[in-house]
Chain A
Amino acid sequence: MIDLDIDITQGAFQLSAKVRIEARAAALFGPSGAGKTTILDAIAGLRTPRRGSIAVNGRVLYSSDAGINVPTHQRHVGYVPQDVALFPHMLVRGNLLYGRHPGVSPDLDRVVRMLEIDGLLDRRVTDLSGGERQRVALGRALMSGPSLLLLDEPLAAVDVPLRRRILPYLQRVRDELTVPIVYVSHDREEVDLLADVVVMLEAGRIVSVERLARVELHGPTG
């Protein structure tokens, strides 16, 4: 659960967002320039709001009133930026293990099998395809044992056929590892396939919060 109540000023751009997100996967949806990535950055601690508060699962990460601003490295959020930013001077294995915290992180074998990157461990990240990079970045974030996963347009950089192949991995992360996901998207199909909750943004404002009925997941057998 994420409690968000923030005002951010960024040059001429003003963002004001107040929302409580309770979902296994929430999509921040809207046109570019709406402030989607800004919200992710604020949750990750990469951008400090002008005022407000941010709490994840009851843990206050930021509060201008209480003078709290937990540094990024203590927030336990896995963040996959749009350009994935795999560390170019490390092999895939080095990337995956970079954020490992013994006792907190999931088992490496489990993560690489789930994302089907077990054959890539000794490859250089510059030799990976777009879909492979995406999955390795996802794995790297998961291996830090995050309490929340932030994905910035996880499927924007890959073409449509590949998109269909990466979505199932995201669904697996959501369902098997039970790490809540907040992700940025401007693709409605992608949102429908992954999100429980859609937070619609426009020009720095939240215009609606919609809960999607997930028929295939909440059916009589699920």
Chain B
Amino acid sequence: MIEPVWRITWFTIACAAGATLLILPPGVVLAWLLARRKFPGRGLVETFVSLPLVMPPVATGLILLMLLSRRGRVGALLERLGIEVVFTWKAVVLAMAIMGLPLLVRTARAGFEQVNVRYERVAATLGAPPARIFLTISLPLAWPSVLAGAVLAFARALGEFGATIIVAGNIPGATRTLAVAIYGYAETGQDSQAFALLLVSVSIAFVALWTANRLVERSTA
């Protein structure tokens, strides 16, 4: 079955956007904690978050599959709640989220580290509790980096392949993303289909990266 290009494109963008929104709140808070706080297990958290960056994506996908399948711990629990993740769009979003998280956290963290700690200290002397300092001082001042991190995570999510194919498969109309579809078409010799999707991929990636770079430039200017 040949799916229209626009459907695959739309599905991929929607999943990538969903994944980015999903990781944005926890990722930004994590980035701030790593930049500003010393807490037990900090090094461990730091390493775990970045792990998907260096691990083969296929391995990450396999771990997710083992956790989320019916025989997995999390999967069994979710099944009892009537939630099915594996080989659905939810698995696509999850795989994208986990692969994008390190990029968001690392970029946002660098942004928070650039904020002069004096602003946060002065805010504390003015009576602002930590949560208010985060929302009114740190976040607005680190905003360009947070946004750049989100764009990078989004771009990474768009191209996600390895983890997605393992945990979500290649089901036309259900879990087929741009990357997975390109692979499928190339494998089966449908070159013109593959080429069309390739153009779409390159364009989206270009726009996303260009935007991210402009944002980082603005934040360091």
> Residues on A close to B: CB < 8 A?
44-46, 71-79, 81, 83, 85, 87-89, 98-99, 101, 140-141, 144, 150
Indicate if B122 sits at the interface (CB-CB under 8 A).
yes
User: Is B80's CB within 8 Å of the partner chain A?
Assistant: no
* Seed contacts A73-B125, A83-B118; 9 additional CB < 8 Å A-B pairs: A73-B126, A74-B127, A85-B121, A87-B122, A89-B141, A98-B123, A98-B126, A99-B127, A144-B126
| Residue of B whose beta carbon sits closest to that of A98 | B126
Contact B125 A77 (CB under 8 A): yes
- The yes or no answer to B128 lying at the interface (CB within 8 A) is yes
B129 CB, min distance to chain A CBs, angstroms: 5
Contact A141 B126 (CB under 8 A): yes
Asked whether A81 and B122 contact (CB < 8 A) given A89-B140, A89-B141, the answer is yes
Band of interface residues on B: 10 to 19
Is residue B209 contacting chain A, with contact meaning CB distance below 8 A? no
Which residues from chain A contact B137 at a C-beta distance below 8 Å?
Answer: 87
Interface of B is mostly: helix
Q: Given the complex, which residues of B lie within 8 Å of A77, measured CB to CB? A: 125
Q: When chains A and B are docked, how far (Å) is the Cα of A196 from the Cα of B123?
A: 29
Q: Is the CB of B116 within 8 A of A85?
A: yes
B45 contacts the other chain (CB 8 A): no
Interface of A is mostly: loop
Q: Is the CB of B119 within 8 A of A44?
A: no
Report which residue of A45, A87, A101, A150 has the largest number of chain B beta carbons within 10 angstroms of its beta carbon. A87
Asked whether A99 lies within 8 Å of B141 as measured between CB atoms, the reply is no
CA distance A206 to B129 in the complex (A): 33
Q: Mark B101-134, 1 if CB is under 8 A from A, else 0.
A: 0000000000000001011011111111110000
Determine if A79 and B116 form an interchain contact, defined as CB atoms under 8 angstroms apart. Answer: no
A3–B122 Cα distance when bound, in Å, is 23
Chain B residues in 8 Å Cβ range of A72: 121, 124-125
B126 with A99: CB separation less than 8 A = yes
Residue among B121, B126, B137, B141 with max Cβ neighbours from chain A (10 Å):
B126
Inter-chain CA distance A150–B121, complex, in Å, is 13
Provide the residues of chain B in CB contact with A140, threshold 8 Å.
Answer: 126
**How far does the Cβ of B131 sit from chain A's closest Cβ, in whole Å?**
10
CB distance from B219 to the nearest CB of A (A): 12
Residues of B within 8 A of A74 (CB): 127
B130: which A residues are within 8 A, CB to CB?
73
Q: Are B124 and A87 in contact (CB under 8 A)?
A: no
